[in-house]
Amino acid sequence: MTIKSSAASVAAFALALTLSAGAVHAQATTKPKTTVAMTFAKAGASWQSIVADRKALGDVIRAGKLSEAHELAFSIRDAAVTLPYKSGALSPAKKIALGKQVALVATIAESIDRYGDAGNASKTKAEYARLKKALSGIEALYPANALPASGEKPMSAADKALFLTPGGIYTKADIEANGNASAYRKYASVATSHDAQVKTGDLVCPISETKPNPQLTWVIGGKKYQFCCPPCIAEFVQKAKTNPDSIKSPEAYVKR
């Protein structure tokens, strides 16, 4: 081997080492995927509280326990007030609209307090209907899947097509094992989080690569997977139906 060819070999070997080191570094510093639910995680936490109190308020009013209505109405108001500060990713126009809706919720909460304490059932029910409409207006300002689902709405045609229709490795048996439901309705009451602090070797959500919640499971291809939130379940089901070869076994989704 000549000196020239030897030098070229050394240079090529050095380049290969550099590229390899770069690939290892890139793998080590890969950040978890940011989902829309993660972007609005703080707003989602407030919304989770609002959803629970909205249901409880409806139950109280239907039961005729009007004297208990004000506490729940004010709890909804107080949680709604935090939304503008937790929704920085919304467009300027939607932020303005959100502020107006939050102010409306506060006004309605005062009315529920007044009519509930007065024992006026018809007025309290009417204000509760206004409250639900105002909250629906808030929910509509966020991107799809940004906020936890209420579980009160009928399953949409899109959700039926996704969760209740077999495809790829997603089978009829899987659908039955998952309770013939959408992930949004099934786990409406489960608080979600997106914790990126995962130890090497621990399970991660197949979509976000954050710490999964053992309560948030979904059967796909006869195997049970753990996720961080319902939107990630939906994305994984879609992936299983349209690109089944990309789906790994549950134990393969671990922190590297």
Distance from C-alpha of 248 to C-alpha of 256, rounded to nearest angstrom: 15
Domain boundary among 109, 139, 169: 139
Question: pLDDT tens digits, residue range 178-229?
Answer: 999 999 888 877 777 788 889 999 999 999 999 999 999 999 999 999 999 8
Do 123 and 195 lie in a common domain?
no
The number of folded domains in the chain is 2
Do 186 and 123 lie in a common domain?
no
Question: pLDDT tens digits, residue range 38-92?
Answer: 889 889 888 988 988 999 999 999 999 999 999 999 999 999 999 999 999 999 9
Assigned domain for 152 exists: no
CA angle 229–187–201, rounded 5-degree value:
40
